[in-house]
Structure 1
């Protein structure tokens, strides 16, 4: 049985960190009281593997090899899935039985809203998930509920994503019918080379996602210095002829408005 690979910790805001801690507590509590073979799966497995997540419920998911009985199905905070889970898709993280990273990616993409599924998939790829194995598992799920959605989501997954916000933003761009951006691009300017989150280099349009944690200090350095550096970076990109659109968390709740800002910038550069 292959051991799980725990991803490097992601910088989270207070709400996300508290949700992750509470989910892990619930998983541990469920694990010690179950007397049937089980593997934590879906969003619970994503948390155990250390994947990025976004706006998940508190329901604990697990997969078992036989159907749950009536009594087992009554717990609304515990969702039991049953299937013939291949040994290939079983592992453990810190002694807790869990589905493998690749199986977890497919399961999440099948049941979550697309943006949520893409957040998990992007971070799993960054954590070393095998794309070929993900594709194999997805093929084996042909005809099952949520597979069509999963194919669309996983077709967009990209190891270059650097944060949950970027993943959500890429889904918005896709869902709103905009041209596909390039995730992560080094842009040369007279002040140096700067990395942009999403780019349409043929039109010199970039989108930057600004999570509040970027200016929270700690590993990110002095917040005031960070603001000054970001301003200098923005100036350098604009002097090099780039349109830079900045997006924050609240903008992700207005998909149409955010897409409209990007569309107008692209249109301004596409016109003769």
Structure 2
């Protein structure tokens, strides 16, 4: 991962700093931290700003520290459902009333086996990061991190040891429920989110990367229930950004081939994840006696 280059106020004469702010050449992204201004289409600007904050804060600090929670997740290269507005930082001692309000301070030192380095910055280990995110984020967002982490190689036994050491602490029950669903077959945040929604609303956990043999070859659907010959595919906007017409045609041929092979297929977008829209679309496609028994999972609320 290439981190953005930032400028620190302490290294810049005040008159130069003011001039560059006025001209929008530099954007203030944290206390005393500046990022070159946005001069063109930059779809990843929010993430660049969030990463720039980490770089700047790291450069400012003179005491031992580790980035944690969503901040560590970004440095590990994990996708997030929402770009975080705050930096999470673990230190033995934290500043007093003058500390940066954009930083969530955690006054502790992680055990040596729960520390690491990612993108050249000090972070909590991949496994510790998963547990912290699953304990504090809304469950859908926590699963996005957990799926990506196990796909990146997070060790489940180590995660379980960290969870076990937190017995009775706030968020641990939710974290266990979220991490139990983690699946390295999820290939995007949207797939993780769609799987979370159907499980939260009572559907059996779907298998990821379901093989479907068709006249055009075997396709691997995002998720589904083989016993019902039902698959769910998540469509993200970026899929159609370039060469949109050709991409649409190929997806249409793939979809038709799956239907012709005797499967039912639901295509979902981000808009379908609100409320009960997705479950209402899926419910008529499963056995009626099972549909009548679906109940939302309390351990995945929040």
Using the size of structure 2 for normalisation, the TM-score is: 0.79
1:60 match: 87
| Alignment partners' CA distance in 1, 2:121 and 2:109 | 19
CA RMSD of aligned residues (A): 1.9
Question: Higher mean Cα deviation, 225-234 or 258-267?
Answer: 258-267
- Aligned to 2:228, the other structure's residue is in SS state coil
Question: How far has the Cα of 1:100 moved from its partner?
Answer: 1.1
The answer to whether structure 1 residue 146 and structure 2 residue 171 are counterparts is yes
Question: How far has the Cα of 1:159 moved from its partner?
Answer: 0.6
The answer to whether structure 1 residue 132 and structure 2 residue 157 are counterparts is yes
The answer to whether structure 1 residue 232 and structure 2 residue 232 are counterparts is no
| Alignment partners' CA distance in 2, 1:194 and 1:90 | 40
| Match 2:138 to one of 96, 101, 113 | 113
Number of residue pairs the alignment of both structures matches: 252
1:70 match: 96
2:220 match: 195
> Does the 8 A contact of 1:203 with 1:269 survive in 2?
no
Deviations 1:113-153 (A, max 9, x none): 00101001111111111111111111112222211110010
> Does the 8 A contact of 2:143 with 2:193 survive in 1?
yes
- Aligned to 2:46, the other structure's residue is in SS state helix
Deviations 1:40-77 (A, max 9, x none): 000000011110101243100011234x34336x5321
Distance 1:142 1:83, change over 3 A: farther
Query: Larger relative contact order (C-alpha < 8 A, sep ≥ 6)?
Result: 1
Question: How far has the Cα of 1:268 moved from its partner?
Answer: 6.1
Distance 1:268 1:245, change over 3 A: farther
| Match 1:37 to one of 54, 64, 67 | 64
> Does the 8 A contact of 2:47 with 2:83 survive in 1?
no
1:20 match: 47
Which of the two has higher C-alpha Rg? Answer: 2
1:223 match: 244
1:179 match: 204
Distance 1:102 1:40, change over 3 A: same
The answer to whether structure 1 residue 162 and structure 2 residue 173 are counterparts is no
| Alignment partners' CA distance in 1, 2:119 and 2:209 | 33
| Alignment partners' CA distance in 1, 2:258 and 2:123 | 45
**Structure 2 residue ranges without an equivalent (≥5):** 2-40, 292-302
> Does the 8 A contact of 2:89 with 2:105 survive in 1?
yes
| Alignment partners' CA distance in 2, 1:146 and 1:247 | 30
> Does the 8 A contact of 2:198 with 2:279 survive in 1?
yes
The answer to whether structure 1 residue 259 and structure 2 residue 285 are counterparts is no
| Alignment partners' CA distance in 2, 1:198 and 1:180 | 9
- Aligned to 1:202, the other structure's residue is in SS state helix
2:271 match: 250
Distance 1:129 1:243, change over 3 A: same
Using the size of structure 1 for normalisation, the TM-score is: 0.87
